[in-house]
Chains A and B, each alone.
Chain A
Amino acid sequence: MTSSTTTVARDVCLSLQDVTISYGSFEAVKNVYMDLTRGKVTAFIGPSGCGKSTVLRALNRMNDLIPGCSLKGRVIFDQHDLYDRRVDPVEVRRRIGMVFQKPNPFPKTIYENIAFGARINGYQGDMDELVERSLRKSAVWDECKDKLQESGLSLSGGQQQRLCIARAIATEPEVILMDEPCSALDPISTLKIEETMHELKRSYTIIIVTHNMQQAVRVADMTAFFNAEAVEGGSGKVGYLVEFNDTEKIFNSPSQQSTLDYVSGRFG
């Protein structure tokens, strides 16, 4: 399999094929096979250190920014292996956007936060309209329509995170990756962001890492459960994908005992 072009089923957006990700010589997560469905919300759950964030970051080559991180296997998106040498990671990130755990608005105005990504992506249309549409989609328009020229840092944590979501969707990616987007937020902001996700899944494929299992039940169509196990002769634990199925199946009738233990809180 040397060719970079591969066909996968039509409704599959991202396909992970035998993905192993290492930090230096330490394998963080091993042998992941997974087909992520287009237009659905997929949640990654699992205990800390099982590699779910690592896998998420692998999907838009964010791991490139972490020194010593390497990937074996293939990640197929739009008929290309994202890790093919000819693929431009900047182009990948334009089509697969990301929202991070900690709200990280740019130290610019709210307006510029949205316009920055659009502008560098060569947006030609009406910028005011794009800013409004993005902020509306991420359900933060009403709170900041009167202060578009104020700093993005003047917003509350929950508003900042929704601003970051608006920033991500302003570039019109096909996929949005969310790395524990609500972990730093209060329940009300969390609820608002979940509503935003329900809005967004009509037009985007969303993949979310969460520690909150109720959140996975509320927002996700599909759920992947990762776990970590100690390996012989290795240092530390190696993560692996235990089970990947409809959210309903994972939480009500999982096929693996460890999944059942985790979702019912008997873990560890």
Chain B
Amino acid sequence: MTVTLQPRSTRFKERVTLLYEPGLRRNRFNQICNGIAGSFALIAVLPLFLVLIYVLIQGGRLISPQLFTGLPPAPGLSGGGIGNAILGTLLVTLVASMIAIPVGVGGGIYLSEYAQKGWFAQFVRFGNDVLAGVPSIISGVFIYGLVVATRVFFEQSYSAMAGGIALAVLMLPTVIKTTDEGLKLVPQELRWGAYGVGASRFVTITRITLPAAFTPIATGVVLGIARAAGETAPLIFTALFSPFWPEGVFNPIATMSVLIYNFAIMPYEAQNELAWAASFVLVMMILAANLLARWISHLTRT
């Protein structure tokens, strides 16, 4: 039995070869679009590498043990280090974390686990998104007005505490958002399983749901810390600066970001170099925090 095919319509342009022809109009167009998209992607990551390289060149050569242990020199003198600023940044960030993590994780738990789909949860979510967009300087001025100007902490004005609170305001939206989203990713079946064996809501959340969402929550917290650690504007108003070692959380404190801001515009060579060195250390710390967040998010669940 022979099969006869119907003659093909001749209204289409004749193509005889199955081979790829680069000169074809659609293929040329495709190449151009690929090229454009690729170069924009390259431009997008270019600033990161330029910043890293520039800071590395300018600040990397100043890295020495003394940089981490010494105090900044008096104007006109050379040498010295940024030990107090590194310690200060760690301390202020720690204060911020100790406020933002409990409040943020608690708020996220409320939104995801307790809140009905009522107006209050909607309002909190919306408010949280707005807070995420508030410029950091506003947070600084706000804490300045609330804590610094009123001298609520032991008649102290500028303090590490105030700086920590200002940074906590900036961290809060990230922590709430990632906790809320992370808990939403936990399969509903897991909660049912816990309720099915007679667990109360509290036990279900603390023993089953939160551990299951640990990875996204921890990632969000680390990213929030990384963002807060590099902030300058809110700290200028709140933590101020100090050329000395930290004297507790209720006194003004040096931080790396404010040190960079202060020293970079000073007319002294030594201070400018320390500003570069501090930039390098700060960028490396934030990079490390981001790598830590990536590592946490890759952790396999047990």
Contact = CB atoms under 8 A, between A and B. Distances in A.
Contacts of A153: 301
A102 B189 contact: yes
Secondary structure type dominating chain B contacts: helix
B197 A60 contact: no
A200 interface: no
A164 B197 CA distance: 10
Contacts of B194: 106, 116
Contacts of A107: 190, 211-212, 301-302
Interface string A104-123: 11111100000011001100
A133 interface: no
B192 A104 contact: yes
Interface in A63-78: 65, 67
Contact of B196 (A67, A91, A97, A108): A97
Contacts of B151: none
Given A100-B189, A104-B187, A168 B199 contact: no
A90 B196 contact: no
B198 interface: yes
Contact of B192 (A65, A94, A151, A171): A65
Interface in B160-179: none
B196 A98 contact: yes
A106 B190 contact: yes
Given A67-B116, A107-B211, A151-B302, A117 B198 contact: yes
B117 interface: yes
B199 A60 contact: no
Interface residues of B, number: 22
B197 A100 contact: no
Interface stretch (B15-23, B200-208, B218-226, B236-244): B200-208
B196 A62 contact: yes
B190 A104 contact: yes
B184 interface: no
Contacts of B196: 60, 62, 93, 97-100, 168
B114 interface: no
B295 interface: no
B197 A117 contact: yes
B191 interface: yes
A123 B189 CA distance: 24
A65 B195 contact: yes
B106 to A, nearest CB: 21
Contacts of A30: none
Contacts of A171: 197-198
A265 to B, nearest CB: 31
B127 interface: no
A52 interface: no
Contacts of A168: 196-197
B135 interface: no
A93 B189 contact: no
A120 B197 contact: yes
Nearest to B191: A65
B193 A100 contact: yes
Interface string B250-285: 000000000000000000000000000000000000
Nearest to A171: B197
Contacts of A121: 197-198
A167 interface: yes
A104 B193 CA distance: 6
Nearest to A167: B197
B109 to A, nearest CB: 16
B112 to A, nearest CB: 13
Contacts of A102: 189
A129 to B, nearest CB: 18
B198 A167 contact: no
A225 to B, nearest CB: 26
Contacts of A164: 193
Contacts of B302: 107-109, 151
Nearest to B189: A104
A160 B211 CA distance: 20
25 contacts: A60-B196, A65-B191, A67-B116, A90-B199, A93-B195, A93-B196, A94-B197, A95-B198, A97-B196, A97-B198, A98-B192, A100-B189, A104-B187, A104-B189, A104-B190, A106-B190, A106-B194, A106-B208, A107-B190, A107-B211, A108-B302, A120-B199, A168-B196, A170-B197, A171-B197
Q: Which 7 A-B pairs have CB atoms at the shortest separation, nearest pair first?
A: A94-B198, A117-B197, A98-B196, A104-B189, A104-B193, A93-B198, A90-B200
Given A106-B190, A120-B203, 11 more contacts: A60-B196, A65-B191, A93-B195, A94-B197, A94-B198, A97-B198, A104-B190, A106-B194, A116-B199, A116-B208, A120-B207
Interface of B: 116-117, 187, 189-200, 203, 207-208, 211-212, 301-302
